[in-house]
Amino acid sequence: MAVGRITEASLVVRGRDWHPQTQLLRVRGEHEIREYELSETAYEVIPLAALTIFALPPPSPAPATAAARIAATPSPTVSPRPTDAELLNAEVAALYTLHQLKADLGEQIEIVRKSNEQIVVRGQVETPQRKRELIAALAGIPFVAAQIQTFDEAMARSVTAPAQATTVPLSVTNNNPAPAAGVNLFERRLARYFAERGGAPPRAVSISRQIAQMANIAFTESSAALSSGWALRRLAERFDTEQDKQLSLEAAARLREVVNHHLTEISARSRNLRRLLEPALVSIAGTSTDAPASPQPAEEGRKARVMRLFKAIEQVQRLSYRLFSSERVFAATAEEAARMMLEALDQLDAACLALEQDNRR
């Protein structure tokens, strides 16, 4: 048996209330059994609140130096969130700055709102010089941050970083190359038109050069109009009439100025196309288009007018390419093709005029 082990234990209690009075313990020693008696000599009943052993110790006073240091530490200041109107005005300011630098005509630049706290201008540009130019111009606008990188920087980052979602270009550009002069029904009739206009016997090489030059200019002018059309469409999709009410006078004036600039550009491109194409188109069609353009509904809103103009520009740009393409036949005769182009130019002018009038209100 192990030394120190209790072999027997007993408790003596008082009969009337079972109050313990004595405890007897028998413990094994090395050579004998030892007996221990624990007896109560006295006891007293007192309230629990008088027992200080169970009370929580009083808190120790904080050192004076710590208190002074805490008192001296200023509480951090939290800048209030900008209001919706402030963010909207900041967005217009950023857009206006980009427009002045012609960064809203096809460059991969977009303006987004981040957590309703900040306006972020992000995207990719061709050169470091262009990147520095845009960042410097945007630097002083409140609530606006620039996240712009070059295509080389984006490429290097994509090589080292895991695959991410592909960046979608801000505008859909026409992927067709500038149309090469080919032989189609319209071109054949156009060659006869140039031959009839010339005084001296025409040379085939000279006529082919004239057709190629007309094709390239038409495609360039219509593509430039489409770039401005995309810029107007993005504006219409971002800013509606309800948001106009939140704009400051300066922001509203800037927004109208941007819209007017794009409309002026589109009108100029349309006039260039008419000077270039209309004499030949009228001659080939046999008559000018006297039919009125589609009526503009009086209740039509600004966004609907912009979309009408955008579709008209798209049609002109598409026909400018297909007139001189030998791969795509879109009209049964040269006369029909010429009439379609004249009608598309009329629709473009009507849609542009309607939006100009709307923007002057």
3-state secondary structure string, 305-343?
A: HHHHHHHHHHHHHHHHHHCCCCCCCCCCCHHHHHHHHHH
Residue 289, number of CB atoms within 10 A of its CB: 20
**Residues in CB range of 108: below 8 A, 6 or more apart:** 123, 124, 125, 167, 169, 170
Q: Which amino acid is at 31?
A: H
Q: What is the pLDDT of residue 37?
A: 73
Q: What is the pLDDT of residue 237?
A: 92
Task: Compute the distance between CA of residue 178 and CA of residue 170 in angstroms, rounded to an integer.
Answer: 21
Average pLDDT by consecutive 10-residue portion of the chain (361 residues)? 73 66 73 73 56 56 54 60 92 96 94 91 96 96 96 85 49 48 77 82 80 95 96 92 85 94 96 96 81 57 92 96 79 91 96 87 70
Q: What is the pLDDT of residue 199?
A: 59
Q: Are 230 and 106 in contact (CB under 8 A)?
A: yes
Q: Are 86 and 143 in contact (CB under 8 A)?
A: yes
H or E element in which residue 11 lies:
strand 6-13
Task: Compute the distance between CA of residue 64 and CA of residue 341 in angstroms, rounded to an integer.
Answer: 89
Do the strands 118-125 and 108-114 form a parallel or antiparallel pair, or are they unpaired?
antiparallel
Q: Which amino acid is at 301?
A: G
Q: What is the pLDDT of residue 19?
A: 65
Name the phi and psi angles at 214, rounded to 5: -60, -40
Chain Cα centroid distance, residue 8:
86
Question: Between helices 334-360 and 249-285, what is the axis angle to 10°?
Answer: 160
Q: Are 125 and 147 in contact (CB under 8 A)?
A: no
Surface-to-core class of residue 312, CB atoms within 10 Å of its CB (0-12 exposed, 13-18 middle, 19+ buried)? buried
Q: What is the pLDDT of residue 93?
A: 97
Q: Which amino acid is at 345?
A: L
Q: DSSP per residue over 118-184, as a string?
A: EEEEEEEES-HHHHHHHHHHHTTSTTEEEEEEEHHHHHHHHHHSPP-PPPPPSS----SPPPPP---
Q: Model's pTM, two decimal places? A: 0.69
